[in-house]
């Protein structure tokens, strides 16, 4: 498997991402995670798993509905939820919206509060922190950090 820098569009902006394989066998990936192959599931998977992406269910639906009129928004929500449950996607919230992330490795995010661009930020070992003492008895499943502000493009546009 090789890696590549990919461009994706999110909320009208081009974002660059790395670390995703350039050759993904989507049917094998779905089967390997215990998911049946359905036309709807394959269609959504091709869009969100074939290259790095931060997507909402509504954005996936709007992107696919013209070419797949039988696909419903509810089916997209359910499919993304199945992908999350099986470990193919991570989910986080920004401004009350569920965002699904195809990068499931530990990382943080930066989000532009103006245009909505979301950027992956790698977590370096020096930046990792111990859990606060108040939750030392908890079994922590995930830690997410999201920096929110204005991206350089929005700063220069204002």
Burial environment of residue 150 by CB neighbours within 10 A (0 to 12, 13 to 18, 19 or more): middle
pTM, full prediction: 0.77
Question: Domains in the chain and their CATH numbers?
Answer: 3-157 (1.10.10.10)
pLDDT reading at 96 higher than 70 = yes
Buried-exposed string 7-28: b where 16+ CB fall within 10 A, e elsewhere: eeebeebebebeebeeeeebee
pLDDT in tens, 9-49: 333 333 333 334 446 899 999 999 999 999 999 999 999 99
pLDDT in tens, 72-92: 999 999 999 999 999 999 999
54 phi/psi in degrees, rounded to 5: -120, 115
């Amino acid at each position: 498997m090789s890696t590549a820098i990919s461009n994706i569009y999110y909320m009208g902006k081009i974002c660059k991402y790395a670390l995703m394989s350039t050759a993904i066998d989507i049917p094998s990936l779905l089967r390997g995670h215990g998911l049946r192959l359905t036309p709807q599931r394959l269609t959504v998977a091709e869009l969100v798993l074939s290259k790095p992406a931060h997507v909402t269910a509504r954005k996936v639906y709007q992107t696919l509905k013209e070419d797949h009129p039988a696909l419903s928004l509810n089916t997209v929500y359910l499919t993304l939820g199945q992908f999350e449950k099986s470990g193919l996607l991570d989910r986080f919230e920004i401004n009350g919206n569920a965002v699904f992330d195809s990068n499931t490795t530990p990382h943080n995010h930066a989000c532009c509060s103006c245009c909505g661009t979301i950027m992956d930020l790698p977590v370096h070992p020096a930046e990792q922190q111990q859990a606060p003492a108040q939750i030392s008895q908890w079994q922590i499943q995930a830690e997410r950090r999201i920096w929110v502000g204005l991206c350089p493009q929005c700063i220069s546009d204002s």
